Amino acid sequence: EEEAEASGGSPRPNSSGSSHTSKGSKPSPQGDLSDDDGFSAPAKFANPQMASFDTIDTHKLQVEDKCETIAQRLEKALITVKPGYCIIALCHEINPISEIELLAQASKKKVYAVDCALKVRNRPKPAQIAHAFTEAMHSGSWFAILHASKSVGTLQLLESLLKELHERNLEGVHPESKIFLCMEQHPHFPRYLAHGAVTIK
């Protein structure tokens, strides 16, 4: 279970070693698609360069056994995905953070998690998200965005951060670091995040 966090606080490790925000109030049934969805980015990330938006078009992990659990599919994706690219878990009304945390514990990895289902005032600030992402990439930890389709602004920020990493040829990125996007399919998902990603359902 996620622990309650102070308004605007940065993700902190819980007893399992993972770092995420509290559940807060129930999320709205529809994702916030407007430019003013409450995401107030600092100057560096105020206007990320977004070439376009598009539907998710990624390599889908082939699952031979339809009875496989989410944890088993995530475990396969961890082996398949390359450093600096995303694992996209398309989960309808399911939050796979528990499975991610269990896999992280087994691998002795720390998880930095941001929950976009929280009210805006309870989410970490953009600069805090960027710092957590950078820490995870350099230390070999795991970075996860939960309910990612509920905040286009957060996805834009992640896209900007990934572009910076790829422009530097992933310099300083730990080969064991992982990026998870847990979300429902969304027509305004940034195309760049799907590049090189492994998608599971």
> How far is 44 from 30, CA to CA, in rounded Å?
28
* Parallel/antiparallel/unpaired status of strands 178-183 and 198-200: unpaired
Give the model's pLDDT for residue 173: 95
> How far is 57 from 43, CA to CA, in rounded Å?
31
Give the model's pLDDT for residue 158: 97
Closest CA to 119 of 28, 10, 1: 28
Q: What is the value of pTM for the model shown?
A: 0.68
Point out which residues pair with 183 in neighbouring strands.
90
* Parallel/antiparallel/unpaired status of strands 18-20 and 12-13: antiparallel
Residue 61 has pLDDT above 80, yes or no: no
Mean pLDDT in the chain? 77
Position with higher pLDDT, 66 vs 172 = 172
CB 107 within 8 A of CB 71: no
Lowest mean pLDDT among 31-45, 92-106, 110-124, 142-156: 31-45
Residue 188 has pLDDT above 60, yes or no: yes
Residue 144 pLDDT level (bands cut at 50, 70, 90) = very high
The amino acid sitting at 171 is E
**Strands (DSSP E) along 74-162, which ranges?**
86-90, 111-115, 142-146
CB 188 within 8 A of CB 154: no
> How far is 181 from 172, CA to CA, in rounded Å?
22
Position with higher pLDDT, 73 vs 65 = 73
